[in-house]
């Protein structure tokens, strides 16, 4: 529906669904921590905001949360907050003089001795690596710029040979891609940050350093249903157990930065498609992240390759695309969000877009709710319905419908604020916080009002309504009804 049509039906701009289905997740940071800039990002197209717990004080994060919630009140649209936990950080020790140069073919030792290192050795303060490492494994230093190959290992010493050399300075990061480390995904810092995030009523928690399903299970137990859980796939071990992890997580992120360090870069596009496809098949929202518009950290426009990268994720059917440093620390945060918005609108306007996002098959589970969600999409296409409206308390009905990637708007009506906010990462979902209904007649009447108020339908249009009876029972979707809006209803709505 055009803006003029929406205006004619009485829908205020802040009430209308976004002009595209894919969600935009913007990271907040030094360049975007005040209310004025957060408002600009929201108006430019940000559906959800990421708060990175790797940096900054809790008090500063609380101020950011308050700013986001004030925007929610100002514009009347539920807004999503994701807290991203740092996870374990593996680093080498210090060097005498602060920096050394490692040469290809030279031996190099990592040990437990805290004495400053040199060109032959350095301390490694992570006993878990000594416990798990094996001969032949790789150690990647400084985001993969240097590569060591293990030639021998002992409880307090790892002998290696330098395969890719270069300069190495104090406390540079270390990646161990070839073994599963006996380390929990949650550090003591993460536990403190998680408790704070839950106090701030976070909508989503992003879990870093996921290696196995047990990592997700531990975090889910600590969260206790107070937020949704997103597993970041950034390690080869997590890719190997992807389906098991997705069974326990509420959503997944393709964390391409760390994944691209631990895997050969040419493997990342294939893995991205695999993760997106698997998440879609299992009905989990999937976010594609890292370096999407990297050049916009310093430049007002992206490269054509970056635009194509974002477009590819959207064509694959990702639920959300994420900005990192572009919106958190760059010179053009608002422009980065606006660019992401324009790319998404352009892709989704492609006549071939609908066919492309359905390349991935998403067979319905043998449940009434899944069958009705699949039917709603089919019926909308067949009869030319203008929108699908679903009543939900938990959000499960919306997730089932979104998995089908319907071509029409999806309005999700819920009386639960937490549910409305968590839907900000779900493809196509426009969450509306509203009182619950208690009868079939009330459901139909409210559906008509909401379709008009939010500008997704007008007189003579048909909409599809989904709900569960008895009303207010989570997970009980068992009703699908087709409704036609009449001219009398439009006239009555305008009078109200």
Q: What is the reported pLDDT for 492?
A: 62
- Give the tens place of pLDDT for each residue, 236-283: 999 999 999 999 999 999 999 989 999 888 999 999 999 999 999 999
Q: Specify the pLDDT at position 2.
A: 35
The pLDDT of residue 309: 97
Provide CB contacts within 8 A for 251, sequence distance 6+.
204, 228, 229, 230, 231, 279, 284, 285, 286, 287, 319, 425
Give pLDDT tens digits for 74-85. 999 999 999 999
Q: Decide if domain 13-87+184-352 falls under CATH 1.10.10.410.
A: no
- Phi then psi dihedrals of residue 345, to 5 deg: -65, -40
**Do residues 103 and 168 touch, judged by C-beta distance below 8 A?**
no
Please list, residue by residue across 268-294, b when 16 or more beta carbons sit within 10 angstroms of its beta carbon and e when fewer do. Answer: beebbbebbbbbbebbbbbbbbbbbbb
Q: What is the DSSP letter of 267?
A: G
What per-residue confidence (pLDDT) applies to 360?
87
Residues 140, 174 contacting (CB under 8 angstroms): yes
Superfamily of domain 99-175: PK beta-barrel domain-like (2.40.33.10)
Mean pLDDT of 310-327: 97
Measured CA to CA in angstroms, residue 461 lies from 145, 280, 385, 387, 488 at distances of: 58, 30, 7, 9, 13
Pairing outcome for strands 166-169 and 174-175: unpaired
pLDDT tens column, 144-185: 999 999 999 999 999 999 999 999 999 999 999 999 999 999
Write out the catalytic residue numbers.
Answer: 50, 91, 232, 290
Contact of 396 with 378, CB cutoff 8 Å: no
Kindly report, residue by residue over 1-22, the tens digit of the pLDDT: 333 333 334 556 567 899 999 9
For the CA atoms of the chain, what is the radius of gyration?
25
Fold exhibited by the domain 368-495: Pyruvate Kinase; Chain: A, domain 1 (3.40.1380)
User: Cα–Cα distance between 251 and 227 in angstroms, integer?
Assistant: 12
Q: Which of 45, 22, 112, 35 is nearest to 68 (CA)?
A: 35
* Range 50-72 average pLDDT: 96
pLDDT single digits (tens) 482-494: 999 986 665 565 5
| Cα distance between residue 223 and residue 38, in whole Å | 27
What are the sequence ranges of the domains in the chain?
13-87+184-352, 99-175, 368-495
The sign one gets for the Cα dihedral 209, 213, 219, 225 is positive
């Amino acid at each position: 529906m055009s803006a003029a049509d929406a205006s004619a039906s009485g829908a205020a701009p802040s009430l209308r669904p976004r002009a595209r289905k894919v969600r935009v997740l913007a990271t907040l940071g030094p360049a975007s921590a005040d209310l004025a800039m957060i408002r600009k990002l929201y108006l430019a197209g940000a559906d959800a905001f990421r708060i990175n717990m790797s940096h900054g004080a809790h008090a500063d994060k609380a101020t950011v949360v308050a700013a986001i919630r004030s925007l929610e009140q100002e514009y009347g649209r539920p807004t999503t907050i994701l807290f991203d936990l740092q996870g374990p950080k593996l680093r080498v020790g210090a060097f005498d003089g602060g920096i050394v140069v490692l040469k290809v073919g030279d031996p190099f030792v990592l040990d437990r001795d805290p004495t400053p290192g040199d060109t032959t050795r350095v301390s490694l303060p992570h006993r878990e690596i000594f416990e798990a490492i094996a001969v032949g494994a790789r150690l990647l230093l400084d985001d993969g710029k240097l590569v060591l190959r293990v030639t021998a290992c002992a409880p307090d010493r790892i002998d290696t040979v330098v395969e890719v050399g270069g300069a190495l300075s104090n406390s540079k990061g270390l990646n161990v891609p070839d073994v599963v480390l006996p380390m929990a995904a949650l550090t003591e810092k993460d536990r403190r940050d998680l408790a704070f995030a839950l106090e701030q009523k976070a909508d989503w928690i992003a879990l870093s350093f996921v290696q196995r399903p047990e990592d997700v299970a531990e975090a889910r137990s600590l969260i206790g249903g107070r937020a949704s859980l997103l597993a970041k796939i950034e390690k080869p071990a997590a890719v190997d157990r992807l389906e098991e992890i997705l069974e326990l997580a509420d959503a997944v992120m393709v964390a391409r930065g760390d994944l691209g360090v631990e895997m050969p870069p040419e493997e990342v596009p294939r893995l991205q498609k695999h993760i997106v496809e698997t998440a879609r098949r299992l009905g989990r929202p999937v976010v594609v992240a890292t370096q999407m518009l990297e050049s916009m950290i310093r430049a007002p426009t992206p490269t054509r390759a970056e635009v194509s990268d974002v477009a590819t994720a959207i064509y694959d059917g990702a639920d959300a695309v994420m900005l990192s440093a572009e919106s958190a620390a760059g010179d053009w945060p608002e422009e980065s969000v606006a660019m992401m918005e324009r790319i998404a609108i352009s892709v989704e306007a492609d006549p071939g877009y609908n066919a492309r996002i359905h390349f991935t098959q998403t067979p319905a589970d043998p449940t009434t709710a899944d069958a009705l969600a699949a039917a709603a999409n089919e019926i909308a296409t067949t009869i030319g319905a203008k929108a699908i409206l679903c009543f939900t308390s938990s959000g499960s009905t919306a997730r089932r419908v979104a998995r089908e990637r319907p071509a029409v708007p999806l309005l999700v009506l819920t009386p639960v604020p937490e549910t409305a906010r968590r839907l900000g990462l779900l493809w196509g979902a426009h969450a509306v916080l509203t009182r619950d209904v208690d009868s079939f007649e009330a459901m139909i009447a409210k559906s008509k009002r909401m379709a008009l108020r939010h500008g997704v339908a007008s007189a003579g249009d048909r909409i599809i309504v989904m709900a569960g009876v008895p009303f207010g029972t989570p997970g009980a979707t068992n009703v699908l009804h087709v409704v036609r809006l009449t001219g009398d209803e439009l006239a009555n709505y305008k009078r109200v």
